Every structure is written in structure tokens, then in C-alpha cells.
Amino acid sequence: MCEPFEVPPYFPLLTSPISRIVLLAFGLGACGCSDLAVPRTGDEVMVPESFMSGRTIPGRAASGWLRDFSEPRLSAVVSEAMRSNQDLAASAGRLRAARANAGVTRATELPQISASGGTTRRRGVAEIPGGSTVTNYTTTHDIGASLNWEIDLWGRLRNRTQAALADANASAADFHAFRLSLAANIARSWFNAAELEQQVRLARETVTSLEKNLKFVERGIDLGTSEALDLRLTRANVANARSNLDAQSRQLDQATRALEILVGRYPARQLRVSQSLPDLVVEVPSGLPSALLERRPDLRASKFRLAAASERGAESKKQFLPSFTLTVGGGTTSSELRKLLNPDYLASSIGANIGQTLFDGGRIQGGIEAAKGRYDEALASFRQNALQAFGEIETALAAEVFLESQLRSQKWAAEESTKAEELAWAQYSGGLVDGLTWLEAQRRSFNASSGLLQLKNLRLQNRIDLHLALGGDFQSRP
């Protein structure tokens, strides 16, 4: 197994195909080792070329994951959030700071040139014979320039710069991960609010229907055709339906205001979401390549942090090597301004210095061990993130199959429950069944219709999770 840090610069690997990522995550103990084909065996995790879960149904892949939902208004809201979300603006600020820090670090590889100049006026007192004193004033002018340059003979400063660049790239990947997560959260909130809109409508229709039925039962009590128990149970159902309507309305209010905050608006509950939940018309293509995982920004960020840890490890080892510094200086001092720029009065110096640590009490070795620990941490974190990513995708793909089957069954249950409620009402009003049978049919019909809405939303949420896990749509190349 390769030793950490005993490698050439890491950056050529950063644009490598997914096989490099997978091998780095599961098959290597250090970056920069030889390519190996996947899947591999032994003590490593076997990684398939394509994801294992899901159906083998040919389908036309979507060119943009938001288009799967056929919601133009949702796309517009997401675009608004990209401009107005304050957390995204904070992430952009962190990215700018990381890029600036990379520039500052890179400047240490270049010569540092400085210039100085000034004028000094001195007052002196001299004693002359006779005991009196004379005050003297002298004015001197000076100008000078110097150059200091640590010659990066061993590449130690270059390692530091590469680490800072990797940190900046990790921040850029974090920024893109936040954008993707923000879009997914807005889509989730959008469909949650859309479901609640329909739940409120269903609850309102249920209240209206139950109130109408209550009047029928009350007339039956007056005519002696209904029982007191039917009246009490119907009244209880009306009260429960009204309570449910208030609860659903409160949840809709909260969901809408939370969505407005995500978008970057004041939570005034003026945002109007869809009045219905769309059907997914785009099938998940069969044989999705695992190479799609390479574009996931959180994995890219983890990979860049691993690169930074590797470069810092190389830098820490090179602390044992001597440093070389070149110093060049020049300038002049004169009591007359006109002589400052006269080359005949110019004084200059040039020097080369070498420095070597002979004893530091174990500071450098401790730094090396700390760098190795941070590298091991970054490598383990990357491996875990990769496993988690595969798990998220496989779970979402499997859920696509289960949810579609469950949705078909729930639609059937809702249709049959609605017909059963109509039949129970007709029989109850004709005196063929008791009130309990009719009330139970009502409850089943409402629960089946409400469950159907929940399941439709759950399938949309799972598709969002799948796109988030894949890092985008189904066909974009890594």
C-alpha cells in the first residue's frame, strides 16, 4: 500500500473519472497510487459500474431535474432563491474569502520587494571655549529598496500553495453543494405546501359534506327515523373534521411562510404554490452509471480536502530540509536631496542565507504526525461520504419501485372507499344499514383520499432525493 504524502502533486487526479474516486475511497490508503479496475474484492467495498436498484425500464432521461415535475413556477422560484437567499450569500462570501486566502498563500512563493525613504532632522548642542554652547541642525535624506526571496528548492511553499488552492476548490464545491441543496429544499417545501393545499381543500369538502349529513340526521331525529347515537356520532365527526381543517390550515400557513424565507422573501404568506401535485412522467432510466456520482459537489469537496491534507503532509516532512533565502538591498543616505538619485552615492548589498533546524524538541516530527492524522481523518471521511452517497442513491432508486406500486394500490383504495361511502349513504338514507356502517365508510373514504395525497407527495420527495443524491439530472456527464 502506498504511503501518504510520498506522491507527486495531487491536482492531476482531481479531474479523473469515477474509477479514481472509487479506488481512492475504497481501495487505496494514500492518493496517487496505481489505477485498479472495479469492482475489486478482498477487504474493499465492491462498487458496480451502474447502480443496482431500480427497474430496467428504458426511458428518455431528463435534461434538467426540475423539469421532471412540469412546474415552471417552481423553476422560477428556485431561480429567485439563487439571487436572494441569505444563507447562499453567506456561502458565496466564504468562497471569496477562501479564494483570497489562496492568493495570499501563493504570494509567499514570489519575491517580496519593498522600498523606503525618509528625511531626518537632528538637533545637537556643542560646547565651545569660553563655556558657551552652539546649537547645530543636520538634515539627512535616505532612500532604499530591498528584495527578500525564499527559494523554494524543495517545493515546500508549492505544497502550501497547492493545499490552499485545494481548500479554495473545496469551498467552491461546498458553494455548489449548497446551491443544489437549496434547490432541493425549495422543491420539497413547494410540494409539501401543495399537498397541504389539497389537504385543506379535502378537509373543507369533508366538513361541508358532514354538515349536510348532520342536517339529514337531525331531520331524522325529528321524524323518528334516526337514532340519538347516530346524531352524537355525526356531530362528533363534524367537530373532528373542523378541527382537522384548522390544523391543516395552520400547517399550510407555516409551510408557506417557511418557503418564502427560503426564497429570500419576507414571510407574508403571499407566495402561491401549485393547487395540485403533478404526476411524474419521466421514468428513471435503466443502468444509471455510477460515474454520475463524480459530479456530486459534496464528494468533490471531500476529495479536495483530502488533496489539501496530502499537500500539507508533504509540506510538514520538508520542514526537516534546509531553507534558502536570497536578500538584495540598495540605497543611499545624503544630506542633499540631489545626491539621492546619483548612482555614485549608491550603496548595495546582496546575500544568500541558508537555515537548518538542528534541534526543535520534536516540533517538526509532531507536525508530521498531526498532518498524518488529519490526512487519515480526511481519507476516512471521504470513504464514509462515498458510501453514504451510494446508499442514498440505491435507497432512492429502490423506493421509486416501491412507491409506484404503493401509489397504484392507494389509488384503488381511494376509489373503492369513495364508492363505498356513496353506497353506504344511499343505504343508510334508505334505512338498510345502521349509522355506524355509514360513519365508518365516511372515515375510510377520507383517510384513503388523504393518504393518496400524502403518497403522491412522498413519491415527489423521493424523486427530489434521488436527484440530490445523484448531484443533478440523469444524463449530464460528470
Summarised one tens digit per residue, pLDDT across range 309-339 is 999 999 999 888 898 888 988 778 766 666 6
pLDDT of residue 1: 34
Strand segments, DSSP code E, in 293-407 are 323-334, 347-355
How many residues are given for the chain? Answer: 478
Summarised one tens digit per residue, pLDDT across range 419-436 is 998 898 888 888 888 888
pLDDT of residue 258: 94
Distances (CA, A) of 166 to 22, 157, 160, 230, 333: 19, 14, 10, 72, 47
On whether the CB atoms of residues 312 and 374 are closer than 8 A, the answer is yes
* Residue owning grid cell 497547492: 162
As its CATH architecture, domain 44-110+154-321+361-470 has: Up-down Bundle (1.20)
On whether the CB atoms of residues 394 and 52 are closer than 8 A, the answer is yes
On whether the CB atoms of residues 460 and 69 are closer than 8 A, the answer is yes
Summarised one tens digit per residue, pLDDT across range 164-201 is 999 999 999 999 999 999 999 999 999 999 999 999 99
On whether the CB atoms of residues 82 and 131 are closer than 8 A, the answer is no
Cell numbers of 70, please?
412540469
* Residue owning grid cell 475489486: 40
Ordered by start, the domain boundaries in the chain are: 44-110+154-321+361-470
- What does the buried/exposed string (b/e) look like for 231-242 if buried means 16 or more CB atoms within 10 Å of the residue's CB? bebbeebbeebb
Listed as ranges, residues in the chain with pLDDT below 70 are 1-64, 130-131, 225, 334-340, 344, 476-478
Q: How many CB atoms lie within 10 A of CB 342?
A: 11
What's at 101, amino acid-wise? N
DSSP per-residue letters across 191-213: HHHHHHHHHHHHHHHHHHHHHHH
pLDDT of residue 24: 42
Cell numbers of 31, please?
492518493
Q: Give the integer Cα–Cα distance in Å for 76 and 69.
A: 13
Cell numbers of 30, please?
494514500
Cell numbers of 86, please?
441569505
Distances (CA, A) of 254 to 192, 258, 267, 398, 421: 11, 6, 9, 32, 32
Q: Give the integer Cα–Cα distance in Å for 299 and 305.
A: 10
CA 28 to chain centre: 26
Any idea what DSSP says for residue 264? T
DSSP 3-state assignment of 392?
helix
323 forms beta bridges with: 355
